Structure 1
């Protein structure tokens, strides 16, 4: 699905569900063949949990990837849900997929954000080696901050009790990266102010660690017009945008010109086009809903009810003339009904209805045209309902547990990388959990085989992973468990 914001720059929306958590994003192609990617993280008050997405970045010539901080209906700093850092793994998975699709490297990327978005830019930039990091008024002691200032976010990230061990762990995430000297070659741009009430506890104690970075740039903004945390970014938006424009053109404000322009107007865009299509919000795999009442060009009483089916969906969304009317839940048998609170306006109507899956993906649109009539209802005129055979929801056989080929039971694995392989009939994907926490998913091939490589280093010791299969309806099989031991080698 695409949309055209202010100034006409097309924005494409999608969901990358390749990781343990579906990640929603917005993407805009570069202008003039620019070979750069700007990744934008959201602050706590960002509309719809997308940061800097109101058109303010429209003049950037780079590709732009906005990532939504909305996981299980809450903010996570792009890090964790109930201390499950699978959120961060899913986010870096999306960024990596977009980079790969564009044929870029971390040297071609700028991470950008303010407040909690600035914290995210620092985390992903330092940990994963991105060249440019722009962070305005970030929080560096994240655990204490969310516990004390935004407890709803704190409970979402730490768990309902917000245990002290979890607070300390989140407090250490960014300081530990800085203390270790992670990504020493990064170009760091940090904005703060003594008028920011968070400066003393969240930024100032860590300036010594930041100043160890040879390419650290600190914009320390003092002004009587800055009255609080949010005003720091507002006051410094012009210089922040200036930094962004220069980085996009390959110019470092501190080191001088490293490369100017960096444009390939004729670059192959098939990779990013394929990725955007495969992760689009609108997916062909989810069938468009069927509307059985009213029939096309039929008559519906002004108090009439819409009836239909949408197998595999959790709800349908109803629109008229580009205006949202309502959502209706879909029953377990795939059926749905919806009645307006107020009568239909007499006359012709054209509705567009689409189905929505539990993942947030949408189907293509179903259009239905009908006439709403007071007269027909008042004179006892029977509405013209569809007399065709009702839609029968596809049924699925109970799924057996998947077969796990590797790791073998109680296998000792030398190193920190683990590859899972196996087979599963009648499934479309296989999922993995450890101690109840989701680890990830992989697709099942047409021949029933599957393969999954976790993109992190496993901790040494014994692991028991539950492996389950899922069909196209989202139904899960019983789990197959495999226990193995990771034997870390020296230096890991």
Structure 2
């Protein structure tokens, strides 16, 4: 599937599923046939877990491969699930397949990322022999960092979190750097003493780079840098300059360099074939979702819009209108799904496009739901004011479901970030829906014992948050809202509203 980037750069999305772990990716062809591949790993708090995918790389002249860091709703540093490093092998398989489809070698590639993406860039670049690495503010002690600051990622990566597993993950990057297998790699490491992670996660490991023929350390000692997340932004011009120099074959060192290796008329059939074979849209694998409510061209009140349907073989439904993400719904084991947005819809015709997503993150073909929101009747209109003198249909609401109970977090609790989870009970409900400041966050199914639990899957900003939730019963009736206010602490995340971006977009 191709999406036009804001600056007109076409972006293809796909899933590499040949390995044991399906890996989601995005790819953009180089301008003018440039013979280079830039691999981008996601940073902490990246919207949708796609790093540097907001258009900042549009002017980079290379082919670009973005790799998503989201597995079971958590980050992984592209390394492991339950200490099984098959995930890492699946990631390098994706990179290798794209590189080979472009007829490139590791000497024609640059690994790039910041924060946890910087860790991944160093790890994959030096372990697998890629020529160039640009890493901004990485964490070397991966196990310690996820244990202290990313509990969701720690559980995903380690399963049961133990000191032994923390030690193993703390050693993976130092061991790769210290081995010195590829000492002629061009390495550009960026950090700052103003970065709160510098003294624990960077400075103690700088000595490991002794003996590398072209190791460069950009040390930005600026009082204008206030935190970990600001180091990369402060060095953005340097980073973009470095990337384009490396793409052109120029490494900032004394010696003979070459550039201008474009091939505007080069054969792209191999990479086009790969993109097609791994496309995220797989309408042939499972059917498009069926929408039973609303029926086509039905007229419905603006405050009573509800979608019901079926999607056998899927785990989630994603809904869009005019290119804007509306929300998603989990698919129950029997294939049924429902979604009732807590909003009043504007009058007139609406065309909703939706697709199903299976457990391997592939997308079905699109389905359209077309309906019309009725004009609100005038308060002074009599019972025969409807067209033709007919009586209007009376909408009878069913009884409300009981309001849900939120047991975790407690009101006023300080919750370790960056990923937040909620738990509670909802008697007689089938699912619970969550929102913050009127913006939908997600939903969670209710178990037979009336319990529910929900984990966001994205990084929350530090500070106070008020999450509201309501229960929905089998008849689609919504309960009164329940709210809890808590504070997120120890979250190193950007304020980007990642929770409102659909996976894969």
* Global fold match (TM > 0.5): yes
Residue 68 of structure 1 corresponds to 68
Question: CA deviation digits over 1:46-90, x for unaligned, max 9?
Answer: 222111222111111100111111111111111112212112111
Q: Distance in 1 between the 2:179 and 2:29 partners?
A: 35
Residue 229 of structure 1 is matched in structure 2 by 228
- Across the two proteins, how many residue pairs are aligned to each other? 381
Matches within 5 A, 1:242-253: 242-253=241-252
Is 1:318 aligned to 2:319, yes or no? yes
Measured after TM superposition, the shift of residue 237 of structure 1 is 1.3
Name which of structure 1's ranges 324-333 and 230-239 shifts more when overlaid on structure 2. 324-333
Partner of 2:170, secondary structure, is helix
Question: CA 1:367/1:214 → structure 2, altered by over 3 Å: closer, same or farther?
Answer: same
| TM-fit CA distance, 1:256 | 4.2
Q: How far apart in 2 are the matches of 1:304 and 1:218?
A: 56
- In 2, are the aligned partners of 1:346 and 1:372 still within 8 Å (CA)? yes
Measured on the aligned residues, the alpha-carbon RMSD in Å equals 2.6
Separation in structure 2 between the aligned mates of residue 343 and residue 145 of structure 1, nearest angstrom:
43
CA 326–139 in structure 1, closer or farther in 2 if over 3 Å, else same: closer
Distance 1:233 1:148 in 2: 22
Give the secondary structure class of the aligned counterpart of 2:208: helix
Normalising by structure 2, we get a TM-score of 0.69
Matches within 5 A, 1:64-463: 64-160=64-160, 162-284=161-283, 285-297=285-297, 303=304, 306-338=307-339, 347-371=348-372, 379=392
- What is the CA–CA distance in structure 1 between the aligned matches of 2:343 and 2:218, rounded to whole Å? 56
Deviates more, 1:325-334 or 1:23-32: 325-334
Question: Which whole-Å CA distance do the structure 2 matches of 1:149 and 1:352 have between them?
Answer: 38
Contact 1:250 1:257 in 2 (8 A): no
User: What are the ranges of 5 or more consecutive residues in structure 1 without an aligned counterpart?
Assistant: 382-492
Aligned partners of 1:217 and 1:254 also within 8 Å: no
How big is the shift at 1:341? 5.1
Higher relative contact order (CA 8 A, sep 6+): 2
Instruction: Judge conservation of contact 1:319–1:352 (CA < 8 Å) in 2.
Output: yes
Determine the structure 1 residue equivalent to 2:436. Answer: none
- Per the alignment, residue 489 of structure 1 pairs with none
CA distance in 2 between partners of 1:199 and 1:343 (Å): 48
Aligned equivalents of 1:25, 1:256: Cα separation in 2: 36
Deviation at 1:132, TM superposition (A): 0.3
Deviation string 1:200-236 (CA, Å, 9 cap, x unpaired) is 3322222222021111112122222233322322221
1:267 and 1:225, CA in 2 relative to 1: closer, same or farther beyond 3 A?
Answer: same
Give 5+ residue unaligned stretches, structure 2.
Answer: 376-385, 395-505
Partner Cα distance (1:151, 1:355) in 2: 29
CA shift digits 1:162-185 (9 cap, x unpaired): 211111111211221222212122
Match of 1:451 in 2: none
